[in-house]
Amino acid sequence: MERISTDRPPEPRRPKKRRSSERRVDYYEPQAMYRDEVAPGRRHTRRRNASREDKTFWGKIRNAWRTMTGVFSNRRLAFDKPLFIIIILLLVVGLVMMYSASYAYAFYKTGDSLFYIKKQIAFAIAGVILMFAVSTIPPHHFKGKWTNGLLLISYGLLILVLFLPRIQGVRRWINLGFTTFQPSEIAKFAAILWCAMYITNHYKEMNLTSYPDLETKARINKNKVRKWFYAMGQNFKVAVLPFLVFLGPMLGLIVIEPHLSCTILVVLIIGTQMFVGGTKKAYFGILGALAVIAGYLVIYTDIVPYGGSRIKVWKDPFVDKLGDGWQNIQSLYAISSGGLFGVGMGNSKQKYLYISEPQNDFIFAVICEELGLIGAMLIILMFVFFVWRGFTVSLANPDRFCRLVGIGITSQIGFQMILNICVVTKMVPNTGISLPFFSYGGTSLMMLLTEIGVLLAISRTSPNKVV
Amino acid sequence: MDNNSGKGRFPGFLRKYRGLDHMGKNVTILKAVVVVCVLAIFYNLLKLMIWDSDEYKQAAVSQQLKTETLAADRGTIYDANGEKLVQSAAAWVINLYPAQIKENQREELCQKLAEVLDLDYDYIKGRSNMNTVSARLSVKADKEQKDLLQDFIYRTCYVRKVKKVGEDGKSYYEEEAYLEDDPSMELKKVEHYKYIKGISLDADSKRYYYHGSLASTVLGFTNFENVGSEGLESYYNNELKGVDGKIIKAQNSKGGEMPFDYETVIDPINGNSLELTIDANIQSVLEKYLRQAYVDNNVENRAVGIIMNVKTGAILGMATMNDFDPADYLTIRDPAALQEIAEIEDPDKKKDAINTARQHQWRNKAVSDAYEPGSVFKPITMSAALEEGLTDMNDTFNCPGYKVVGGRTIHCHKAGGHGTETLTQGMMNSCNPVLMTLGERLGAANFYKYFTAYGLTNGTGIDLPGEAPGGSYHKEADLAKPQELATSSFGQTFTVTPIQMITAFAAATNGGYLMQPYVVQKVIDPNGNIVKSHEPVVKRQVISAETSKNIDMMLEATAGVGGTAHNVYISGYRIGAKTGTSEKIATLATTGERKYVASMGAVVPVDDPEIAILILFDEPNNPRSHGGGTIVAPVVRNVLAEVLPYLGIDTIYSENDARLMDTLVPNAVGKTVEEATEMMEAKGLQVRVIGEGGSVTGQIPAGGKSAPKSSTIVFTTTSDGEVPMTTVPDLVGLSPTQVAYAVKNRNLNIRYSGTGYESSSGVAKSQDIPVGSRVEQGTVVTVEFSVAGITD
């Protein structure tokens, strides 16, 4: 074959067409700025006008897929890697420890050592998928009807559960046949969202430093004390009352389930949001004082009979060694057996029916026994790292709603961990609170991973990538 | 913190505050709260896991560990010849768990247990319905029974799991087992499945007694927990039991095992074995005759027999009747006691009575019960008087039949008195006034000195439990009263234990050495090494060898012709013996009944004593007599007759004895009369020939048979070889002279047995060929004599 040579110089290379998978899709829409907020830079983002394709159903799905697959490669799409790694680490360690803690009990109870872990792994896989899915949804989309809808749904479920038959003597669970779930899990998330939304919408009012109305009210304006009370009153109207009105009934419903630990947790979450959002610190002082008084009354007097016996057992579990004190005692035995380095993975003896249901609330005792002080501290430090990172990435997001949701979710997990470990180490009375990532509970784990998904979404949609 | 976005850059440490609004500051506070909480948790964990962990850790370990005992094998007990008397063998304790027994299996289970264990059905039924967690059966199963029960409990079953809902609403799984496969249910075949619920067989051990109840009161027994309860088992419990081993295992809160390789095994150390001085052969001879005598004499308060090696103090045999079966020690053997218990209606009293009867039969009377020794004590007083030089063998005494001491007349047992007599005769007659005189000469101090020296104020220190403590012994102060001293000198008004009595008796006869009696010769460890070996312990020399020799001679005389102990005489052996019959004064004082203790002490051979024997009957009820010489002496004689040849004690026959001894009759049939006569005379036999023939055609006793040397062999020379017949006369009740005459008259030969045939005091008690039988002339009739009318 003959080759014809030409003098024509080669064509300049055309810029390579971007492949669709490399397309940058920006979900972040800068929000209105507040006076004290640094305007989010746009250095890392580039707006692309949404095409018509993007608005179709399959287009949305495709975009979601691209987002999910882009999380590790694309800087702007990536969610916070340290956060992601610590979550996966906690999840894996949690599953391993759950298996270790549960297999003896599972064997005695059902004859199958893998009974609990199989279920948990299934839920974990489903949960991780859900986490990824949720992480593609820009969290500010939850503002508005989503949040209100979720709040209504959780109210509905909380009321519904009161009319369902009791399970293990309480009305906490809704039985779906293949599994059970707690409406309070959803309620927690709804509360986080609602708080975040409310605070976002009323941030200015909640953080007023000067009150234009006072100009006309000289009597108050001139007196510092009166002025303080006035400010408190104004703050109460916008920063306390709405929470009481909208979320107070939810607490009431959870209390009558009864589910004390969840109530405490929801109070802590709402409180955290309010604290961060701008409710006056004095209210927290008052609330703290009230809590101390109530705690004193419950602990040192016999006003509350139910709590009273629980408190009594807490103070000295040996008064009812084989009854209510059993769990606490066995937990302490397990923890003390651990020593510095623990008895080794899988070698716990206390899980052999001494700690009843070691895969549940008291799993940390088994962890202490098997992994020792070092292991237990490492796990706590993992949680601490998670909380730290959670707060950091939340704050990095310029969207106030996202920040508040992230802080809510992070603090929920943090408080749950602290409360659980305090219960297990007998620092506070037994309330029945589980250890996130570790305790057995399928729907609860899925709910947790969903929330984590939201947290990841917050980290991803933030233009301010945290180092 | 790292929120360093924005246009400008904050320098250095301030950078972290850049861009933080109120919210950021609040979150910083929140972080501080989290840190404080976590630090509090760390502090608490440090406290729980490191600083104050010990208490909880220990508690956890103690609840997690299960200790199983590995029982040590209890040592074996051998007799003097190394023959096993007692050995531990595997056995199984049967526990029932009433709550776990299935209702449809209860009947079957109870019946099977009753059948296999040979127990009362109602008893097992009662145990299976008890309102306790577990109920133990009173019998241990041996290997065979255990195998039967295991086959009953464990079977091939078809099993399935069934989910059930408990009362608390929680569901749980339960296994259901069927003996037959049922295709409609999904059943799993399981071999060796525990089909019968609510029963467990737990490995244990029990004592196996090779000789039944032999020496039961000496050996004792072990209780259900394998702890020695009586006798040697109790005294040497620490030697025998060994040290139990342990398996320490992990357990879960339900008591089940954990799948850990956590197992510490501490091996058991097996118990040491004992080799006794008791010889099973001697013991069985002793028990055989003692048991017979116990029944014959209707002894009310048990009988005791002890045989002792006088040179070492070793106990060769020790028996108490009534005894018990150590393998079944709870069963009361004494029919009288059973009768008594059966008559009691009140259940509490009945229980008490049963307990008392059991304690009674377990009690080793030979060491635990004191009695008044009576005349058997007389050699002791005599030895003291001889030793102190207050009398000698040529001394003479006069017995008018009584002696007045301290204004009180104390009678001799012979109403008319023994008249003038030597010391030896005093002993032979068992004359109380002689002893009272000696006691008087000794005085309280000397008497007490010897009383103590013979070990009668202390326990002997024999290695058996329950030796009667001091208190029943004499106090020196009591002897200050002359009557007390007088009665004490012939063995009344104080009590000693049989073992003390025989020890003192042995000391008086063996050259004066008080030995410590003992039962265990050697303690042997499980590897066969000797841990302890008992060397004879001489406590002290009480009297000189010379005095002891004199006592021996006097005792021999007592057992000889005319002595009160003559019923013990065995030809060929030099036996020294003293009988005793003591009245139980305490019983007389309290109930007014006259009860006696009949006893006899003997020592053989008197020239160099080897063994001593003491047999006593506490409260015999023999209508014939309650005297030791009459009812105890034959028993002693029977025992010695078997024991002495067994022990290989040399026989020495007197001329008269030699004449009465059996010899083998040679066969003379076919020989000439002259030859035959010569042959018989060479053997010391006499000959009587019937018929005119030249050669012997028949002979009675026939050749090859044995006959006493005093016999006359009857030859016949007639052609048919038949010896003429004759009738056996009635010999019972006749004196030896009369018997000899009657037998001679009928052309029969006589073989003497028993005692007393050399003197006029003997009386024929029995004959082996019945009265009126037609027998050939020359046939040997064995006649048993005994000495009648002995009082001591």
Helix/strand/coil (H, E, C) string of B320-357?
EECCCCHHHCCCCCCHHHHHHHHHCCCHHHHHHHHHHH
* B382 in Cβ contact with B438 (< 8 Å): yes
CA distance B192 to chain A (A): 20
- Please name the member of B60, B251, B254 whose beta carbon is closest to the beta carbon of A337: B60
- Please name the member of B34, B38, B48 whose beta carbon is closest to the beta carbon of A336: B48
Most A CBs within 10 Å, among B4, B20, B23, B252, to test the A interface: B23
- Please name the member of B24, B37, B60 whose beta carbon is closest to the beta carbon of A333: B60
- Please name the member of B24, B38, B60 whose beta carbon is closest to the beta carbon of A384: B38
Decide if B2 and A467 are in contact by the 8 Å CB cutoff. Answer: yes
List, as one string, the DSSP characters of B15-80: GGGTT--HHHHHHHHHHHHHHHHHHHHHHHHHIIIIITHHHHHHHHHHHHEEEEEEPPPPPPEE-T
**CA dist., res. B306 & res. A300, Å (int):** 79
**CA dist., res. A462 & res. A77, Å (int):** 9
Give the other-Cβ count within 10 Å of A254's Cβ.
26
Most B CBs within 10 Å, among A235, A269, A280, A335, to test the B interface: A335
> Shortest CA distance to B466 belongs to which of B362, B334, B584?
B362
With a cut of 80, say whether residue B437 has pLDDT above it: yes
* A98 in Cβ contact with A359 (< 8 Å): yes
CA distance A3 to chain B (A): 59
> Shortest CA distance to B607 belongs to which of B681, B542, B659, B556?
B556
pLDDT above 90 as % of chain B? 27
Closest-approach residue (CA) in chain A for B25:
A276
CA distance B193 to chain A (A): 17
Residues of A in contact with B20 (CB under 8 A): 395
* Mean residue pLDDT across chain B: 85
Residue A386, classed as helix, strand or coil, is helix
Decide if B60 and A334 are in contact by the 8 Å CB cutoff. Answer: yes
Mean pLDDT calculated for residue range B554-569:
87
Closest-approach residue (CA) in chain B for A275:
B26
Measure CA A425 to chain center: 22
Residues of A in contact with B35 (CB under 8 A): 384
Q: Where are the domains of chain A?
A: 80-194+309-461
Most B CBs within 10 Å, among A37, A38, A316, to test the B interface: A38
- Sorting pLDDT into bands at 50, 70 and 90, what band is B473? low
Helix axes B545-559, B498-509, angle to 10 degrees: 110
- B165 pairs with which residues across the strands? B171
Per-residue burial over A142-152, b = 16 or more CB atoms within 10 Å of its CB, e = otherwise: bbeeebeebbe
**CA dist., res. A163 & res. A171, Å (int):** 8
Residues of A in contact with B46 (CB under 8 A): 373
* A102 in Cβ contact with A116 (< 8 Å): yes
CA distance A282 to chain B (A): 14
- Please name the member of B42, B63, B254 whose beta carbon is closest to the beta carbon of A377: B42
Decide if A425 and B30 are in contact by the 8 Å CB cutoff. Answer: no
Residues of B in contact with A373 (CB under 8 A): 45-46, 49-50
The two three-digit tokens of residue B149, written as one number: 């029960």
Sequence-ordered alpha helix ranges (H) in A278-358: 281-300, 305-315, 325-338
pLDDT tens, residue order, chain A (467 aa):
455 555 666 666 666 655 554 444 444 444 433 333 333 444 444 445 667 777 888 888 887 777 767 666 666 667 888 899 999 999 999 999 999 888 888 887 777 888 899 999 999 999 999 998 888 888 888 888 999 999 999 999 999 998 888 877 788 888 887 778 888 889 999 999 999 999 989 988 888 878 888 888 888 888 889 989 998 998 999 999 999 999 999 999 998 888 888 898 999 999 999 999 888 889 999 988 998 888 787 777 666 555 556 677 777 777 766 667 778 888 888 888 888 888 888 878 788 777 878 888 889 999 999 999 999 999 999 999 999 999 988 888 888 899 899 999 999 999 999 999 998 888 888 777 889 999 998 888 999 999 999 999 988 887 766 65
> Shortest CA distance to A86 belongs to which of A338, A301, A387, A292?
A387
Between chain A and chain B, the number of residue pairs with CB atoms below 8 A apart is 156
Residues of B in contact with A168 (CB under 8 A): 169
Decide if A339 and B50 are in contact by the 8 Å CB cutoff. Answer: yes
* B317 in Cβ contact with B282 (< 8 Å): yes
Highest mean pLDDT range out of A397-401, B67-71, B784-788?
A397-401
Instruction: List the single range of A303-307, B25-29, B586-590, B609-613 with lowest mean pLDDT.
Output: A303-307
Closest-approach residue (CA) in chain A for B163:
A110
Pairing, β B520-524 against β B513-515:
unpaired
Decide if A278 and B22 are in contact by the 8 Å CB cutoff. Answer: yes
Decide if B26 and A276 are in contact by the 8 Å CB cutoff. Answer: yes
Query: What distances in angstroms separate CA B371 from CA B327, B596, B618, B750, B757, one per listed residue?
Result: 30, 10, 8, 42, 33
- B403 pairs with which residues across the strands? B410
pLDDT attached to residue A258: 81
Decide if A425 and B35 are in contact by the 8 Å CB cutoff. Answer: no
Q: B190 touching A, CB under 8 A?
A: no
For B700, the enclosing helix (H) or strand (E) is strand B698-700
- Its ipTM equals 0.84
* Maximum CA extent, chain A: 107
Cα distance from N-terminal residue to C-terminal residue, chain B: 122
What is residue B568's DSSP assignment?
G
Question: Which active-site residues of B does the annotation give?
Answer: 375
Taking a contact as any Cβ pair under 8 Å apart, which residues of chain B between 218 and 257 contact chain A? 250-254, 256
**CA dist., res. B627 & res. B596, Å (int):** 8
- Please name the member of A168, A352, A414 whose beta carbon is closest to the beta carbon of B34: A414
- Please name the member of A108, A207, A339 whose beta carbon is closest to the beta carbon of B49: A339
Taking a contact as any Cβ pair under 8 Å apart, which residues of chain B between 13 and 52 contact chain A? 18-24, 26-27, 29-31, 34-35, 37-38, 40-42, 44-46, 48-50, 52
Give A359's contacts (C-beta < 8 A, 6+ positions apart). Answer: A98, A101, A102, A105, A106, A116, A439, A440
Instruction: List the single range of A395-399, B453-457, B593-597 with lowest mean pLDDT.
Output: A395-399
Give A439's contacts (C-beta < 8 A, 6+ positions apart). Answer: A98, A359, A360, A361, A363, A420
Mean pLDDT calculated for residue range B319-345:
87
Instruction: List the single range of B171-185, B406-420, B664-678, B766-780 with lowest mean pLDDT.
Output: B171-185
By 3-state DSSP, what share of chain B in percent is helix, strand and coil, each rounded to 5?
A: 35, 25, 40
- Sorting pLDDT into bands at 50, 70 and 90, what band is B609? very high
